């Protein structure tokens, strides 16, 4: 908006902002529905307050390079707390619409407005309205929650197996229930010789098995096929 606008501006009787329809008060008078009420956040005497008002004009400003901005011109109801022109009745907000303020500052950006509806207040009088804030059906105000990635540490339980080695001194390697016998050295040599022969036989058998398991194709002995010499 700091750039110079065109000399001409365009006025509209209605506007759709973020899917919400707004009509100026003059147009709303010809309709059963109400679309001219709005509220905007602001400051008054260094305090944050809600400014309730009525939409009077929709103004479109055009800039260079086809940039444009939409402004709302509003009448603001005087809701000064010190003057008791706004009341809280349980969960309802009631305002006195017979007085206005900030008449020299009527403009806001269209995207700043939030639509509200004004309903007659039979408790405080004819000049009072009950403010109805609603959530439009096609619009959802879902708070954005940052998903925190939780790193789950994998806990592996290990069981420590304790092995106790027994002392050799606790074992007995000779029998006490029979008498000791003395063996002839020649007999001992024969026994060890027989054990070695058994080991050689086992190795020969394994070699034969390995040979028979080769991928070579074996020809049976009774093969009657012709042999070329």
Per-residue pLDDT of 179-204, as tens digits, reads: 777 767 766 666 556 555 555 554 54
Q: Angle 39-44-49 (CA atoms, 0-180°, nearest 5)?
A: 40
DSSP string, 95-130: EE-S-EE-TT--EEEGGG-EEEEEEE-TTT-TTEEE
In a domain, 116, yes or no: yes
Domain span at 48: 10-133
pTM of the model: 0.57
Asked whether the predicted pLDDT for residue 149 surpasses 60, the reply is no
Number of folded domains that form the chain: 1
In a domain, 221, yes or no: no
In a domain, 112, yes or no: yes
Between 71 and 225, the more confident residue is 71
In a domain, 158, yes or no: no
Structure tokens that stand for 167 in this block? 């002392």
């Amino acid at each position: 908006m700091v750039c110079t606008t065109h000399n001409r501006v365009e006025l509209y009787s209605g506007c759709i902002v973020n899917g919400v329809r707004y009509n100026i008060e003059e147009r709303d008078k010809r309709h059963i529905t109400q679309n001219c009420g709005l509220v905007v956040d602001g400051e008054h005497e260094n305090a944050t307050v809600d400014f309730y008002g009525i939409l009077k004009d929709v103004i479109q400003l055009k800039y260079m390079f086809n940039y444009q901005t939409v402004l709302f011109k509003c009448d603001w109801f005087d809701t000064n707390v010190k003057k008791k022109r706004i009341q809280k009745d349980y969960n309802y907000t009631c305002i006195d619409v017979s007085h206005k303020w900030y008449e020299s500052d009527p403009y806001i950006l269209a995207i700043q407005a939030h639509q509200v509806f004004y309903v007659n207040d039979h408790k405080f009088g004819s000049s009072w309205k009950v403010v109805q804030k609603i959530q439009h059906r096609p619009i959802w105000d879902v708070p954005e929650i940052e998903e925190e990635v939780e790193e789950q540490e994998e806990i592996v339980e290990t069981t420590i197996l304790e092995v106790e080695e027994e002392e050799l001194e606790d074992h007995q390697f000779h029998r006490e229930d029979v008498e000791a016998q003395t063996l002839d050295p020649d007999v001992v040599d024969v026994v060890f010789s027989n054990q070695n022969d058994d080991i050689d036989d086992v190795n020969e058998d394994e070699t034969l098995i390995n040979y028979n398991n080769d991928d070579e194709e074996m020809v049976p002995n009774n093969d009657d096929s012709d042999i070329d010499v």
